[in-house]
Amino acid sequence: MLINRALCHSWLTQVTFRYHANIASRLQACRHNQPPQRFWQPPVRHFHAHRPRSSNIKPNLGEPAADGNTVPTNNVIKAIAFTGAFSVGCFAGATIMEYENTRNRDSWWQLKQDVRRYWDSLSPGDKTFAPILVCNLLAFALWRVPAMRTTMLTYFTSNPAARIVCWPMFLSTFSHYSVMHIFANMYVLHSFSNAAVLSMGKEQFMAVYLSAGVFSSLMSVLYKAGTRNPGMSLGASGAIMTVLAYVCAQYPETQLSILFLPTVTFSAGAAIKVIMGIDFAGCVMGWKFFDHAAHLGGAMFGIFWAHYGAQLWAKRISLLNYYHELRRTKQK
């Protein structure tokens, strides 16, 4: 089934993009996303339950399910604790980064003139998107190294029944196995990142994006544990769903159109509700090709942050003051 949408205006001029969504059925063990700007494919995260002979990616023998389809309770507890600790660390790091960037802005730009000139020409969204793209490309390249296959399966796929649970929840959000998977996800992220960065600022955006990736992995872990259906998941679409949902919630009246039917338009607010409805149905019906729990968790995180993020981000001031005093004390 194909769902195509396109934004009718420009985000930079009227905070709108053109985009379309296309749910592809050819990817295995991956997450996809909704490419905006011109056209996008809705974020999807795939996972495979344990099946006798179906997957073309052989599971890591060192990462078996504990007891058939049972997810160890200890792994669920670890996943919850890791999500909380990682998110706090992300926002604490973003606060310190904000302070350092403000304090050392002049010295930070003392780079070679050609690099400085090119970097300054980029939009805020492109500057934030670039390091995320590099990390995803590095992980994608590592999948092509045969000697790294076991490591990638262990640390760059999230599986609640595996021996190692926590760090894969984070690293899997940079992991893509197929060319179409990484292209679709990065296209979507690039299309929406500028609007989100202009709204939040680059430090807050990075904290939200990284935390959302782990939170969407946690939702996948909890769903798989609750349904006793563990399996591997990978892809950035959970975090990208947060960016999409945030932008749609911030600018719900942005007009969207269906690809090949440009005269049929509807609001971004309605579009995100439909997408979340599909993912909710996928969770209820037990659809297994996409990781609907991760998508739904990412969208919920984005909508939550659109409504309450400003108040929560303002609470970083105490940490900012503490870090300022710490830096001033060390300089004396």
Q: Which residues are catalytic?
A: 237, 295
Q: How far apart are CA 265 and CA 88, in angstroms?
A: 40
Residue 169 neighbours by CB under 8 Å, 6+ apart: 79, 82, 83, 86, 158, 214, 217, 218, 221
Q: Say how many C-beta atoms besides its own lie within 10 A of residue 239's C-beta.
A: 30
Residue 283 CA: distances (Å) to CA of 20, 72, 96, 304: 23, 21, 38, 20
Indicate the pairing of strand 44-45 with strand 255-258.
unpaired
Q: How far apart are CA 95 and CA 89, in angstroms?
A: 10
Among the listed residues 261, 140, 254, the one whose alpha carbon sits nearest the alpha carbon of residue 192:
254
Q: How far apart are CA 245 and CA 251, in angstroms?
A: 10
| Strand segments (E) across 117-272 | 231-233, 255-258, 261-267
Total residues belonging to the chain: 332
What b/e string do you get for 70-109 counting C-beta neighbours within 10 Å, with b at 16 or more? Answer: ebbeebbebbeebbeebbeebbeebbbebbeeeeeeeeee
Among the listed residues 302, 41, 15, the one whose alpha carbon sits nearest the alpha carbon of residue 183:
41
Whose structure tokens read 């730009």?
109
